[in-house]
Structure formats: structure tokens, C-alpha cells
Amino acid sequence: MSQGNGQYGSTLPFAAWGGAFTPAELDRIEAYGDGLTTAKATVAGDAPQGKEDDASRISRTAWIARNAETDWFYVRMERIARTLNDQLWQFSISGFSELFQYTIYNGQEQAYFDWHVDQGFVEVPRKLSFSLQLSHGSQYEGCDLQFHAGRLVETAPRERGVVIAFPSYVLHRVTPITSGTRKSVVIWITGPKFK
């Protein structure tokens, strides 16, 4: 496990964990995600009725339901999430109250997602956010997941299979993709509001 280059000790802007999945497991997740209908991503709460807003986000997403075929993936991610939380943040967390989100950024659409936070002041109690990189970093150009937690913008690793974790209040973005395709799974852990 490697950690983000944070300056706050217990409040690292992000952490990265490689090697949590075998290539065969990643292939399985990718095949399952590709089999889902990918609707154009919405902003404004990611709700089905959310308005499309190309000014801040262009990507395609689909929800990965928890079922017999995907249960192993949910179990694995929960273990990863709890381990990272125990080591780094010690937040009070409840579990996955939202489905995993399969996300595709396509070079032909110049997809991106501008600076945002996953949790505002008084909204859904998302505590930690995770991104599982399914594509090799060499398969696309641009499309970096970046964090703005201090003066400098930091870039997440691009290796296939790496899990990137961060507190949901950290400002982050995905830069425009200029060629190729980047696939990832986005996951949120919820819990009681900060006290």
C-alpha cells in the first residue's frame, strides 16, 4: 500500500492501494460493466432525474447492482474500504448505501468531470470516496484523477487495478480525455454526519 503525498498526517488528501484485484478479477468487473447499458452521466446528486450539465461533466455511467454475480466485488471493496479507513481516517462509517458506479470516459467525447466535492456541507452523508482504475494508464491520454487539497494539485496513479481513496469533502476532478477510453468504478461509503 502506498499513501498520498499529504501534508496533514491524519488527514491525507488521498491514498492509493494497488494489487487488491487480480487481472482476471478486473477483467470480470470490466466485462460486467460493459454489459450494462451506459446512460449519459448526470450531475446534481447523480439521481436518475438529475439534470445533464455538460458544462461540468461529460462521462457515461451505469449502476452496478449488488447481486449473485457482483457480491464478491462488494465484499472485497468493503474490506478494502474498512482497512483504509481504520488505518488513515477512522471515520464513523455505515456501509454502501449507494450502488457502485461504472464510469466510462471516452476520448471521442473529450469526456471530463470538472472540480467538485462528493459531499457538501449538509448533503448526503458520503464520508469516503473510492475509484478503482480498470483501464491501463497507457490506454488513454489525459483523464487524470486529480486532487486539490492544498496549494498543489496532486495526480492519482494510473495503474490498472489501483484503488484510490479520499475523504468525500476533498475537491477533485477528472481532466479531459484526449484519446482512448478510461473505465473505472466509483464507490462511496456513507456514515453519520461529521460531529
- Residues near another protein (CB under 8 A) are 7-11, 56, 90-92, 115-117, 120-122, 148-152, 167, 169, 171, 192-195
Among residues 122, 178, 118, 180, the alpha carbon closest in space to that of 147 is found at: 118
Q: How far is the CB of 108 from another protein (least distance, A)?
A: 27
Question: Please, what is the Cα angle at 45 between 82 and 33, to 5 degrees?
Answer: 65
Q: How far is the CB of 44 from another protein (least distance, A)?
A: 10
* Residue with Cβ nearer another protein (37 or 90): 90
H-helix segments, the chain: 23-35, 71-84
* Residue with Cβ nearer another protein (78 or 154): 154
C-alpha cell at 38: 451506459
What CA–CA distance (Å, rounded) separates 148 from 30? Answer: 29
Backbone angles phi, psi at 50, to 5 degrees: -60, 150
The partner residues of 140 in beta bridges, in order of sequence, read: 180
* Residue with Cβ nearer another protein (31 or 122): 122
* Residue with Cβ nearer another protein (19 or 50): 50
Q: How far is the CB of 82 from another protein (least distance, A)?
A: 14
Q: How far is the CB of 93 from another protein (least distance, A)?
A: 9
* Residue with Cβ nearer another protein (68 or 152): 152
Q: How far is the CB of 18 from another protein (least distance, A)?
A: 24
Sign of the four-CA dihedral 90, 96, 97, 98 = positive
